[in-house]
């Protein structure tokens, strides 16, 4: 009997003691792992903070954690240590440090890119490709006259669509029209090609790009759970999306062939980014270097300008029109300024910017308020470092939280309101972009900022010159949900449609 009792006691003791001991070990391990790290919430074994993070509103979760802990916080997603930086000065300091210019190792994308291109590359390869891409785009009038002419061509197409919607008294989702327009601009800049709207090749390209933007999140999970890599590789979706990307590669390769056949003589003036790369490739090969400008490199750079430069710009325009619909008084002030400073017998030009203080402030405020790339693009610590007094281990994933910085009440008078006065002085003069970081800052900042700003300014002002925009009646009252939207790679507005009206009368005619 005594023996039986003592055996029950032992079992009970084991039943309670073992979990307590395991928990104690886990706690001690966590404590050891997180010594000197930025403060932050503890997560669960294996999954880390995943169960607490809403991927559709990740920017708000990060902002909330930073309010509870500090401007620099750490937490785990799966087995990966994440450090989020939520303060302008610290973002600036971090992104100017070469150690934080790495990119996380996303296995799905890495298999496709093989380290080529700009967006995911690192080190010497990245520096070289980025410098050349920026230089060649500047040389073709990047953000200057030539690109402005390309925008004009695209505007004609947008106006055609808006006119049809007015004639047919239909409400409209504008995103597709803007995506086509921004694709058109990039096609001309990178490939010197002007696609026609209904051209089969362009339709295929547009649709494939659009599908790729909807790559399921699960394909990128091995970034946080490396043990999932093999499982994800075997999934049908991986196969489907890899094939899709390779189709885009084939399309760009065909375009490179066309440019190569035109560029027969090396002394010919390059006409687009692709030409510059072809000439550099030929030069390098003459010197025996077959790696730096191998064809995949050119393919990736061109494709990345489409991937990074179309949806971003198109979404900014879509959001701007939503904001004008939700704030009719602000829209009215934009109309008045455009009428007074530009009139109705020509389209706006970039040179009009200095006289369009209010409109420029509205655009800048939209960039801030939206913070389109709300959690930026992830960076990676290339080696262990001390930042702001905290230890940042090698391979930590860095989140430069654009949204938290752009909604920081220490910087912005009304952080959660759409308030163009953030960028105006007492005399109504535009004060400059200040601490607004929609394109991020530092060594890896957006390579297309100049082009994006020019496209958004010219397209938005041209539309405002002609049209008044409002929410379709069935969406009135749903403004809060539309503005809240959700976060994929970029912040998307909630379900909505817009209605356009000609502003003056049917004779209103703005010519180029
Ligand atoms: C409103 C439009 C746009 C926004 C809000 C935007 C925002 C951003 C952000 C936040 C980054 C990440 C920077 C970092 O990692 O530190 C980025 C990177 C990049 N963007 Fe943009 N972008 C826009 C338009 C464009 C356009 C039009 C192009 C090209 C024509 C472009 C090309 C790139 C490239 C190549 C990178 C990668 C830079 C690198 O890794 O070195 N973007 N962009």
Q: Tell whether 326 is covered by a domain.
A: yes
176 located within any domain: yes
Rounded to whole angstroms, the Cα distance separating 123 from 144 reads 30
Structure tokens at 213: 């933007």
Element (H, E) at 188: helix 175-191
Q: How far is the CA of 16 from the centre of ligand 1 (A)?
A: 54
Give the residue among 81, 78, 311, 116 at the shortest CA–CA distance from 217.
Answer: 78
CA of 311 to the centre of ligand 1 (A): 11
Q: What CATH number is attached to the domain comprising 114?
A: 1.10.630.10
CB of 277 closer than 8 Å to CB of 296? no
**Residue 272 assigned to a binding site:** no
ipTM metric: 0.99
- Evaluate: CB of 130 within 6 angstroms of ligand 1: yes
Ligand 1 site, residue 316, Cβ cutoff 6 A: yes
Pocket flag, ligand 1, residue 376 (CB < 6 Å): yes
Q: What is the pLDDT of residue 104?
A: 93
In a domain, 115, yes or no: yes
Considering its fold, how many domains does the chain have in total? 1
Quote the domain boundaries for residue 492: 34-502
Q: Is the CB of 318 under 6 A from ligand 1?
A: no
Closest residue to atom 20 of ligand 1, CA basis: 446
Whether residue 360 lies inside any domain: the answer is yes
Q: Which atom of ligand 1 is nearest to the CA of 440?
A: 10
Ligand 1 centroid, distance to 308 Cα (angstroms): 6
Indicate whether residue 452 lines ligand 1 (CB < 6 A): yes
Is residue 133 assigned to a domain?
A: yes
Is any ligand 1 atom within 6 A of the Cβ of residue 104? no
Beta 486-487 vs 491-492: how paired, if at all?
Answer: antiparallel
**Nearest-angstrom CA–CA distance, 346 and 349:** 9
Q: What is the DSSP string of 7-32?
A: HHHHHHHHHHHHHHHHHHHHHHHHHH
- Does any domain span residue 17? no
Q: Strands of 396-451 (E only): list them.
A: 397-400
Comparing C-alpha atoms, which of 461, 429, 448 is closest to residue 373? 448
Q: Say if ligand 1 is within 6 A of residue 181 CB.
A: no
Name residue, tokens 């904001």: 323
Q: How far apart are CA 330 and CA 323, in angstroms?
A: 9
Buried-state track 413-445, b at ≥16 Cβ within 10 A, e below 16: eebeebbbebbbeeeeebeeeebbbbbbbbebe
Please report the pLDDT score of residue 6 as a whole number.
53
Burial code (b: 16+ CB inside 10 Å, e: under 16) for 157-170 equals: ebbebbeebbeeee
Q: What is 119-151 written as a DSSP string?
A: SS--HHHHHHHHHHHHHHHHHTTTTSHHHHHHH
Please tell me the distance from the alpha carbon of residue 100 to that of residue 392, in angstroms, as a whole number.
10
Residue 460 in contact with residue 154, Cβ under 8 Å? Answer: no
Q: Residue 510: inside a domain, yes or no? A: no
Residue 238 lies in a domain: yes
Per residue of the chain (512 residues), give pLDDT as tens: 445 445 556 666 667 777 777 777 766 776 666 779 999 999 998 899 999 999 889 999 999 999 999 999 999 999 999 999 999 999 999 999 999 999 998 887 888 888 889 999 998 889 989 998 888 778 775 556 677 788 888 999 999 999 999 999 999 999 989 998 998 899 988 998 887 777 888 888 888 888 877 777 788 888 899 888 889 888 988 888 889 889 999 999 999 999 999 998 888 888 889 999 999 889 888 888 888 888 899 999 999 999 999 999 999 999 999 999 999 999 999 999 999 999 989 999 999 999 999 999 999 999 999 999 999 999 999 999 999 999 999 999 999 999 999 999 999 999 999 999 999 999 999 999 999 999 999 999 999 999 999 999 999 999 999 999 999 999 999 999 999 999 888 999 999 999 999 997 444 444 43
Cα separation, 218 vs 122, in Å, equals 24
Q: Look up residue 204 and give its two tokens.
A: 């295929």
Ligand 1 pocket, residue 448 CB under 6 Å: yes
| Sequence-distant (≥ 6) Cβ neighbours of residue 508 within 8 angstroms | 344, 466, 502
Q: Whose CA is nearest to atom 24 of ligand 1?
A: 309
Q: Which of 448, 454, 490 to mutate to test the pocket of ligand 1 (most atoms within 8 A of CB)?
A: 448
Q: Whose CA is closest to atom 23 on ligand 1? A: 312
C-beta 246 within 6 A of ligand 1 = no
Burial class (CB in 10 A: 0-12, 13-18, 19+), 260: middle
């Amino acid at each position: 009997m005594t023996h039986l009792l003592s055996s029950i006691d032992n079992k009970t003791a084991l039943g309670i003691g073992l979990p307590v001991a395991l928990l104690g070990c886990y706690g001690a391990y966590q404590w050891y792992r997180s010594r000197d790290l930025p403060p932050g919430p503890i997560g669960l074994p294996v999954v880390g903070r995943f169960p607490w993070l809403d991927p559709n509103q990740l920017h708000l979760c990060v902002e909330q954690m930073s309010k509870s802990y500090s401007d620099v916080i750490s937490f785990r997603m799966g087995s990966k240590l994440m450090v989020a930086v939520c303060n302008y000065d610290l973002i600036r300091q971090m992104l100017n440090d070469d150690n934080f210019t790495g990119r996380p190792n996303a296995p799905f994308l890495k298999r496709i890119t093989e380290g080529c291109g700009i967006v995911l590359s690192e080190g010497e390869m990245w520096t070289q490709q980025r410098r050349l891409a920026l230089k060649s785009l500047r040389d073709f009038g990047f953000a200057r006259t030539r690109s402005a002419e390309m925008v004009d061509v695209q505007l004609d197409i947008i106006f055609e669509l808006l006119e049809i919607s007015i004639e047919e008294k239909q409400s409209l989702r504008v995103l597709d029209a803007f995506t086509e327009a921004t694709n058109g601009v990039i096609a001309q800049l990178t490939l010197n090609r002007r696609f026609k709207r209904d051209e089969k090749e362009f339709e295929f390209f547009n649709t494939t790009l659009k599908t790729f933007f909807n790559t399921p999140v699960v394909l990128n999970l091995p970034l946080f759970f490396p043990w999932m890599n093999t499982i994800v590789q075997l999934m049908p979706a991986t196969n489907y999306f890899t094939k899709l990307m390779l189709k885009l590669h084939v399309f760009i390769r065909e375009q490179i062939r066309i440019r190569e056949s035109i560029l027969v003589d090396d002394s010919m003036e390059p006409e687009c980014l692709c030409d510059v790369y072809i000439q550099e490739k030929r030069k390098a090969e003459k010197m025996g270097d077959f790696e730096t400008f191998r064809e995949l490199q050119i393919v990736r750079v061109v494709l990345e300008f489409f991937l990074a430069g179309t949806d971003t710009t198109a979404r900014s325009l879509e959001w701007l029109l939503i904001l004008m619909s939700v704030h009719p008084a602000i829209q009215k002030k934009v109309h008045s300024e455009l009428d007074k400073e530009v009139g109705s017998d020509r389209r706006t030009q970039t040179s009009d910017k200095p006289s369009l203080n209010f409109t420029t402030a509205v655009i800048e405020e939209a960039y801030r308020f939206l913070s389109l790339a709300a959690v930026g693009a992830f960076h990676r610590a290339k080696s262990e470092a001390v930042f702001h007094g905290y230890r940042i281990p090698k391979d930590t994933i860095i989140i430069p939280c654009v949204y938290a910085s752009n909604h920081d009440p220490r910087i912005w008078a009304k952080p959660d309101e759409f308030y163009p006065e953030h960028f105006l002085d007492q005399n109504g003069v535009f004060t400059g972009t200040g601490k607004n970081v929609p394109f991020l800052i530092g060594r890896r900042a957006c390579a297309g900022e100049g082009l994006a700003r020019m496209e958004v300014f010219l397209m938005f002002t041209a539309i405002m010159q002609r049209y008044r925009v409002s929410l379709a009646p069935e969406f009135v009252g749903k403004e809060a949900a539309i503005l809240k939207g959700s976060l994929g790679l970029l912040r998307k507005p909630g379900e909505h449609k817009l209605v356009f009206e000609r502003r003056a009368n049917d004779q209103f005619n703005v010519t180029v």
